[in-house]
Amino acid sequence: MKPHFKAILVLLACLGCAAASGQQKYPYRLLLSDLLSQRLIILEKDGTVSWEYPEAGFVMDGQRLTNGNLLYCWYSMTKDKQAGVKEINQDKQTVFEYKIAQECHSVQRLPDGLTLIEDPTQKRLIEVDRQGKIIRDLKLQVGHDLVHRVARQCRKLANGNYLVAQEFDQAVVEYAPDGKVLRRIPVNGMVFAVSRLPNGNTLIGTGGGKDMGRSVIEVDTKGTTTWSFENPDFPPGTNPEWILGAQRLANGNTLIVNWLGHGKDGQGISLLEVTPQKRVVWTLNEKRVIALVQILP
């Protein structure tokens, strides 16, 4: 065999090894909060972590903004019970911060530049400006005094209404800007994830005990469930308990975030994409406890 031909074979073998080592593990780049390590991370398609922000705390919600900054809410499990919202730039410098007492489970940057924050100790939602001034205050109609279980995801809609996942009340409540309850959607289970779909339906993620929750349901304007992905639909080894996130993707599939805390220590499937026919497209099985998930460009 001629030397130059041997060299070509060696080069091809090396290229093959490189392609194998960079093999795509996931279909998307993902922004995740890993509650086991209390880090924010960017997970690349090959499964490597390309960016991380350590000691972020328990990050339950957030988003990467169009300017590349990262907005998130957090709370601490230490005795000081600190919580709040932070915006950090790509160099991990804090450019905005707002602190509240005890816990915070939801944050949203609004089109007008204000930040919507859940304040469970006061049973309210607040909208604050860049200087930390409260511009709007919405009182929630909550049927208990458990701070930890007031609400989870809270979203302001394009029409100005507010969609609130009131966990312990086992209901999604839609409020008018003046605080009037416009609609109440009862669910079987503790409710965490909520979003309004382009067709006007509401996508809801629930959790709870053996005979309740652990499902994603789509409910129309009349209260009828038009689609669901329930406990028996999860693939073996999922270990489902709480659905912390449910996102309807542009391709019609649904991205589901399964909570693997409460002693499960990240054992199971924490993230899965399913088709409208309930076929599982892919799963994330790494040992992580995930709450915040965002697909990145």
Domain 192-297 in this protein, CATH class: mainly beta
Query: Which tokens in the block code for residue 46?
Result: 């090959």
Rounded Cα distance, 183 and 227, in Å: 20
pLDDT tens digit at each of 297 positions of the chain? 544 434 433 333 443 443 344 689 999 999 999 998 999 999 999 999 999 999 899 999 999 999 999 999 999 977 678 899 999 999 999 999 999 999 999 999 999 999 999 999 999 999 999 999 999 999 999 999 999 999 999 999 999 999 999 999 999 999 999 999 999 999 999 999 999 999 999 999 999 877 788 999 999 999 999 999 999 999 999 999 899 999 999 999 999 999 998 888 889 999 999 999 999 999 999 999 999 999 999
pTM score of the predicted model = 0.90
Both tokens of residue 45? Answer: 């398609």
Burial of 210 (0-12, 13-18, 19+ CB in 10 A): exposed
The domain ranges of the chain are 57-186, 192-297
Name the superfamily (CATH) of residues 57-186. Answer: YVTN repeat-like/Quinoprotein amine dehydrogenase (2.130.10.10)
CA-based radius of gyration for the chain: 21
C-alpha 208/C-alpha 193 separation (Å) is 13
Residue 275 and residue 131: Cα distance in Å, rounded?
43
